[in-house]
Amino acid sequence: MAFDFQGIATQFVTHYYTTFDSDRKGLAGLYRENSMLTFESSQSLGAANIAEKLVGLPFQKVQHQHDTVDAQPTATGGIVILVTGKLVVDDSPNPLTFSQAFQLCQDPQGQWFVFNDIFKLIYG
């Protein structure tokens, strides 16, 4: 591989969840107008709509604890990332289990951005 996809994925995941947990508005810059988010089967297209969805989620405090981060390079030079972990919402004593998949791509300036983002809570 011509690039360190695992290292980029690890850095991205750390940045994404740190930003999500501290200031969700800051996530808007990670998406572009052609980005898509599927959050619990609800789809949002474009950076502004995605940011609106994430900022409008019905909780005040959130803490992500990612347990696994798996990454693979794509045929088009991107990175697919699958994250599993736990989510603590509003200091609940019962963390929620989640899975989240990202596809990162590079824009013409070489900046990584989220092209696809799928988030799902795991019940069971």
The predicted-structure confidence for 57-109, as pLDDT tens digits, reads as follows 999 899 999 999 999 999 999 999 999 999 999 989 999 999 999 999 999 99
Q: What is the pLDDT of residue 2?
A: 67
Mean pLDDT of 33-56: 96
Q: Measure the CA dihedral 25/31/34/36, to 10°.
A: -80
Distance CA 73, CA 50 (A): 24
Q: How much of the chain, in percent, has pLDDT values that exceed 90?
A: 92
Mean pLDDT of 46-61: 94
Q: What share of the chain is helix, strand, coil (3-state, %, to 5)?
A: 25, 45, 25
What topology does CATH give the domain 5-122? Nuclear Transport Factor 2; Chain: A, (3.10.450)
Q: Is the pLDDT of residue 48 over 70?
A: yes
Q: What is the pLDDT of residue 124?
A: 74
Q: Is the pLDDT of residue 1 over 60?
A: no
Would you list the domain boundaries of the chain? 5-122
Give the pTM: 0.94
